[in-house]
Amino acid sequence: MTFQLDQFRLDGKVAVVTGAGGRGNSIGRAYALGLAAAGAAVVVADLNEAGAIAVADEIRASGGRAIGVGVDVADERATLAMASAATQAFGGIDILVNNAALMVDISYDSCETVSLDAWNRAFAVNLNGALLCSRAVIPSMRARGGGRIVNQTSGGAFPATGLYGITKLALVGLTTSLAKQFGKDAITCNAIAPGNVTSDAGKALVPDDSPFIKFLEMACATHARGTPDELVGTLLLLCSPAGEWITGQTIHVDGGWVLRP
Ligand SMILES: NC(=O)c1ccc[n+]([C@@H]2O[C@H](COP(=O)([O-])OP(=O)(O)OC[C@H]3O[C@@H](n4cnc5c(N)ncnc54)[C@H](O)[C@@H]3O)[C@@H](O)[C@H]2O)c1
């Protein structure tokens, strides 16, 4: 079939975005708004239920379809309840964006000193959360003839230099595994690896006057910092018919910080 621009549209699709309600200017919120603008009904899911409902309200106020649900992605029963809420509201699930993560509230202690509790909680949310949410939605995707899973990793995993990066590199392993195991069900799985993003959380972690920004300005091929909106086009490619043949990939959206052949 000749390529049509509307292959980027998501009309009639149902998307679940985790970690989309926690902070004012967040990547998850930008993803949820972008998916809704492309025509999808969106389940905005977050530990912060009130924040999730607020983002869903924002989508509905601009003419979209959305619900907000509270979920702890590290809790299997909660992820199953999230999937049920999505199916009850919109009939099933076609797209899952595993965006929820600990990034600011994570231990930056060394591997020698980090507590095992902090280590386990980081993996429970950043890795196991993506596994549990994927398992909760795959039956619905399969029943609907296919689906899209997008895992939010990070440039900070290339290479990993601490707990956060280690969890995000492990998420890349989950990405290639899901891609291989569910490809024949027409379920694709890819990852987005952003560079430094000026979400509220990103700015809390790396303030404007941080020496890391100076380093990034030298390291990046183009500009060092991106906005949440600069990630949305890549997400829509991976979630839409236009990206049907892409799976198992990690796409770096970072101004050329991490250059990979
Ligand atoms: N901001 C950056 O510079 C940057 C760069 C690379 C990758 N990322 C990744 O992008 C994603 C979003 O980042 P952000 O900057 O918008 O940060 P953010 O802190 O605003 O978003 C993370 C969200 O996850 C939610 N969350 C945390 N634990 C949860 C749990 N157990 N269950 C459900 N929800 C939970 C939080 O409430 C929050 O809303 C994260 O995966 C982060 O690691 C961010």
Rg (C-alpha) for the chain, rounded Å, is 17
Whether residue 108 lies in the annotated active site: no
Average pLDDT on 37-56 reads 97
Mean pLDDT in the chain? 97
Delineate the domains of the chain, giving CATH numbers in brackets: 5-251 (3.40.50.720)
Give percent of the chain with pLDDT exceeding 70: 100
CB distance 147 to 96 below 8 Å: yes
User: According to the model, what pLDDT value does residue 24 have?
Assistant: 80
Distance from the alpha carbon of residue 1 to the mean position of ligand 1, in angstroms: 38
Q: Is 19 in the pocket of ligand 1 (CB under 6 A)?
A: yes
**DSSP letters along 41-52, please?**
EEEEEESSHHHH
Q: Closest Cα to residue 174, out of 204, 138, 218?
A: 138
**Atom number in ligand 1 closest to CA 100:** 24
Instruction: Say whether pLDDT at 258 is over 70.
Output: yes
The residue among 97, 117, 131 whose CA lies nearest residue 163 is 117
Answer whether 73 contacts ligand 1 (Cβ < 6 A).
yes
Q: Which residue's alpha carbon is at the smallest distance from atom 17 of ligand 1?
A: 201
pLDDT at position 186 is 98
Q: Which of 164, 225, 236, 257 is catalytic?
A: 164
Distance 249 CA to ligand 1 centre (A): 20
Query: What pLDDT does 1 receive?
Result: 77
User: Atom 13 in ligand 1: which residue has the minimum CA distance?
Assistant: 27
Predicted confidence at residue 23, as pLDDT, reads: 60
**Which residue's alpha carbon is at the smallest distance from atom 7 of ligand 1?**
154
The gap between the terminal CA atoms of the chain, to the nearest Å, is 30
Please compute the mean of the pLDDT values over residues 73-100 and round it to a whole number: 98
Amino acid (1-letter code) at residue 255: G
How confident is the model at residue 140, as a pLDDT? 98
153/158 Cα distance (integer angstroms): 10
Q: What pLDDT shows up at residue 172?
A: 98
| Average pLDDT score over residue span 59-80 | 98
